[in-house]
Amino acid sequence: MTAKEIRKSFLEFFKNKEHEFIASSSMVVKDDPTLMFINAGMNQFKDMFLGNVEVKHSRVCNSQKCLRVSGKHNDLEEVGVDTYHHTMFEMLGNWSFGDYFKKEAISWAWEFLTEVCKVEKDWLYVTVFEGADDDGLKLDEEAFDFWKEIVSEDRILMGNKKDNFWEMGASGPCGPCSEIHIDIRSAEEKAKVPGANLVNMDHPQVIEVWNLVFMEFNRLASGELEKLPAQHVDTGMGFERLAMVLQGVQSNYDSDVFTPLIDKVVELSGFKYTSQEKSETDIAIRVVSDHVRAVAFAIADGQMPSNTGAGYVIRRILRRAVRYGYSKLNISEPFIYKLVDVLGEQMGEFFPELSKQQELAKKVIKEEEQNFLRTLEKGIDKFNNYSKTVTETIDGKFAFELLDTFGFPIDLTE
């Protein structure tokens, strides 16, 4: 299946189970002081979980644009360096607002993966919340028992609060979760080390694909948990990871979510992409292909790069991409804006806001690139001239001067 077909089949599956499709909300958050950007599909439904608004549809599905680059969920430093984290990503989700709970969430997730997507059952592992004394929470026996009806016990692993108790931020709706992990290693590797030993161990081919959260609590600002008025389901599946699995490749960047962007970076830079995890050129190509999505979608959703708050986060993401392009791909002219048309071609149909703002995104990105390249060249010259005069350490005054030039810390030895 192509990425587009995968998205469609997920939404069709849940529509057939009486879920209402709700479009992705803007990735930029304007009305919640606890968040800068949407970090999960459930954000737009926060008030439904809390019981603050009337529930129109008790079953909902969607594919939400998310950005995990600030606050509690921040993957930025992993992006490009590994092959399965992203700044902007799509989260496929199904929700129940006071309707079905653990049993249906678990059995439908299994049905979708193994019957619709035809994922091999013995590639899958599931995790269950083991409980947490500090919050007075017990092992999620209910989830464990439902899973036992579907998979053998050796595939059900216990997870701690960090991995198996999902919270939106420092406060807000939360609850125990059950994750589905997939092992896409070769048979030879599987024979050497069982997949169960690699779950939640940052292995690039044994990764979480779907998180089923059973929303039952609200974390108060005081840190205490308060029971929600009703029980809800919030599931989130990594669309790019699912595309990797279903397209039989070993990296999200080798799926057709990314290959058109990567091909364009290759064309513009003249470097080859070899799908290596450790290659510096490949990392740079991944960083650029990833970051253009975050920046273009943020602009399409009304967030311009700037010097403060959310705008500054977007500016830094773009500058990270420019820096990788400059230092690893030898590109000293604006080029990232040229990827926006490729992105529009791929995603503009499902996310029409992108097509509408495509020209604006190109213009803003190009100007930002131009400005930052000038700054980068100036700063690097300054550093090179200075470093000729010192042998070991640079003094603090100069370090701050340099910091001022770049606007944020840069590792010039990278």
Binding stretches for ligand SER (CB under 6 A)? 40-42, 93, 166, 211, 213, 234-236
Alpha helices in 184-335 (DSSP H): 187-192, 239-246, 259-269, 280-300, 309-328
C-alpha to C-alpha distance for 42 and 386, rounded to whole angstroms: 50
Pick 108 or 273: Cβ nearer ligand SER: 108
Beta carbon of residue 74, minimum distance to ligand SER (angstroms, whole number)? 13
Q: How far is CA 400 from CA 207, 370, 397, 410, in A?
A: 40, 23, 5, 12
Pick 63 or 269: Cβ nearer ligand SER: 63
3-state SS string for 315-358: HHHHHHHHHHHHHHCCCCCCCHHHHHHHHHHHHCCCCHHHHHCH
408: Cα separation from own chain's centroid: 23
Beta carbon of residue 291, minimum distance to ligand SER (angstroms, whole number)? 21
Beta carbon of residue 213, minimum distance to ligand SER (angstroms, whole number)? 5
Pick 62 or 289: Cβ nearer ligand SER: 62
Pick 173 or 334: Cβ nearer ligand SER: 173
Pick 93 or 176: Cβ nearer ligand SER: 93
Pick 155 or 241: Cβ nearer ligand SER: 241
Q: Considering only CA atoms, which of 318, 329, 197 is closest in space to residue 269?
A: 329
Residues 328, 299, 257, 95, Cα dihedral to 10°? 130
Pick 66 or 287: Cβ nearer ligand SER: 66
CB 343 within 8 A of CB 261: yes
The sign of the CA dihedral 146, 151, 157, 159 is negative
Residue nearest to ligand SER (CB): 236
45 contact partners, CB below 8 Å, separation of at least 6: 60, 95, 97, 234
CB 236 within 8 A of CB 40: yes
Gyration radius of the chain's alpha carbons: 22
Pick 165 or 324: Cβ nearer ligand SER: 165
Pick 63 or 255: Cβ nearer ligand SER: 63
C-alpha to C-alpha distance for 354 and 357, rounded to whole angstroms: 5
3-state SS string for 22-44: CCCCCCECCCCCCCCECCCHHHH
**Can you tell me whether residue 5 is helix, strand or coil?**
helix
Q: Considering only CA atoms, which of 209, 308, 295 is closest in space to residue 252?
A: 209
Q: Considering only CA atoms, which of 74, 131, 120, 92 is closest in space to residue 13?
A: 92
Beta carbon of residue 208, minimum distance to ligand SER (angstroms, whole number)? 8
Beta carbon of residue 73, minimum distance to ligand SER (angstroms, whole number)? 8
